[in-house]
Amino acid sequence: MLPNMIMKYAIKHKMRMDNPCTGAVILEKTLTVEEIENTSIDDEFLENNELTQFLEATYHHGMPLDIERIYLIINFDFSRATPETKSNLQEL
């Protein structure tokens, strides 16, 4: 993405005539079944208490609109939340 932005800048300022990044494809590594089975999801997600601590810290010590941005990013679905999590988040 960054090389493409650089090339667009160069074209805009008449430093280059073409964009060699056009049509470039960056391949993603395909995981094998064994790699997927050996991957633990425990480290990829926060526990309820960790999420609550993170949101409280963001609310009390973050920049303006940080908490709103975090809520948009995680797109928290209250309909599937446990009652404990709902009460913790609503207290913020």
Per-residue pLDDT of the chain in tens (92 residues, 90 and over written 9)? 678 888 888 999 999 998 888 888 888 888 899 988 888 777 677 888 888 898 889 888 988 888 888 877 776 566 666 777 667 666 65
- Give the other-Cβ count within 10 Å of 86's Cβ: 13
Give the domain extent around 84.
48-91
Q: Is residue 79 part of a domain?
A: yes
Q: What is the value of pTM for the model shown?
A: 0.39
Residue 67: is it exposed, middle or buried by C-beta count within 10 angstroms (0-12/13-18/19+)? middle
Domain count, the chain: 2
- At which residue do the structure tokens 């089975």 appear? 37
Say if residue 23 is in the same domain as residue 55: no
| Cβ 5 vs Cβ 12: under 8 Å | no
